[in-house]
Amino acid sequence: MPLKILHEDATLLVVDKPAGLTVEEIARQLGYTPAHRLDKDTSGVLLVAKNEESLESLRRRFKEREVEKHYICLVEGDLKEDQGIIHTLLTRSPADRRKQRTYPLNEPKEGRREAITEWKVLQRLQDYTLLQARPKTGRKHQIRAHMVQLGHPIAGDKLYGFKNQHIPRGLTRQFLHAGYLKIASQEFVSELPEDLQNVLELLPSHYGN
C-alpha cells in the first residue's frame, strides 16, 4: 500500500497513515521507526524518525506531553454535555488481555497509569455523536477505553463496543482518526478519509433535518 507523506526533512517523516496497516508494517516499508503508535484500524498523522537521535527526541517530547494531538471519533449515542474531561487510571484488563480497562483515581496505582482525555462535541447525529478527542497522555487504546468509560464506545470498534452494537452503514472499522498533531512550531493535518466521510454523509442529523 503506497503511503502518503505529509512532510519530510532531514530527520523526520510525517505519514498520513491509512487504516489497515500496523506501525510495524509502516516501519518495514519505510525503513525508519515511528515515534509513537496508532492502532491498526486508526488512520491519521504518524511521526516517523529518520535516525536514532530524532527518535529519542520525539519520544521524550511525547513522554513530557509536549505534543498536541486531536482525534476525530464517532461514538454511539447522544452525549448530554458539549465537552468534558476523562481522568482515570488505565491498565491491561484482567478479563481480556487485548483490552485496556479504566479505574478510578482513588484506587491503588500499582501497575496502573494516569490517563487524561479532553473531548468536545463537533456534531450531533441520529444515534451517534461526532467528537474531537484530545489525549493529554499517550496510553495504549486510551481514547477507545475512555469512550467506553463515558458509556459511548466508538462506532465500529469491535473490541471495545458493547454487545449487539449497531454499526453505521458503510463503516468497516473503528471511526477514529488522528487528524491534527502539533510539535514545537510544526503543525500537521490529515483530512478525514473518504471512507469515514461517506459514513457521516449517510447519517441523518440528530433532529432529523
Q: Which domains does the chain have, with CATH numbers?
A: 4-202 (3.30.2350.10)
What's the pLDDT at 209? 43
Find the catalytic residue in 9, 16, 39, 157: 39
Q: Are 192 and 198 in contact (CB under 8 A)?
A: no
- Per-residue buried b or exposed e for 118-151, using 16+ beta carbons within 10 Å of the residue's own CB: ebebeeebeebbbbbbbbbebbebbbbbbbbbbe
Q: What is the DSSP letter of 9?
A: -
Element (DSSP H or E) covering residue 117? strand 113-125
Contacts of 21 (CB under 8 A, 6+ apart): 1, 40
Is 39 one of the catalytic residues?
A: yes
Provide the b/e sequence for 45-67 (b: ≥16 CB within 10 Å). Answer: bbbbbbeeebbebbbebbeeeeb
| pLDDT tens, N- to C-terminus, the chain (209 residues) | 689 999 999 999 999 999 999 999 999 999 999 999 999 999 999 999 999 999 999 999 999 999 999 999 999 999 999 999 999 999 998 888 899 999 999 888 888 999 999 999 999 999 999 999 999 999 999 999 999 999 999 999 999 998 888 899 999 999 999 999 999 999 999 999 999 999 999 998 865 44
CA dist 18 and 32 (Å) reads: 17
Least Cα distance to 79 among 137, 117, 119, 116 occurs for: 119
> Taking the model in full, what pTM does it have?
0.93
| Pairwise CA distance, residues 28 & 202, whole Å | 36
Q: Which of 25, 34, 2, 33 is nearest to 178 (CA)?
A: 34
DSSP at 170 = T
Name the phi and psi angles at 144, rounded to 5: -60, -45
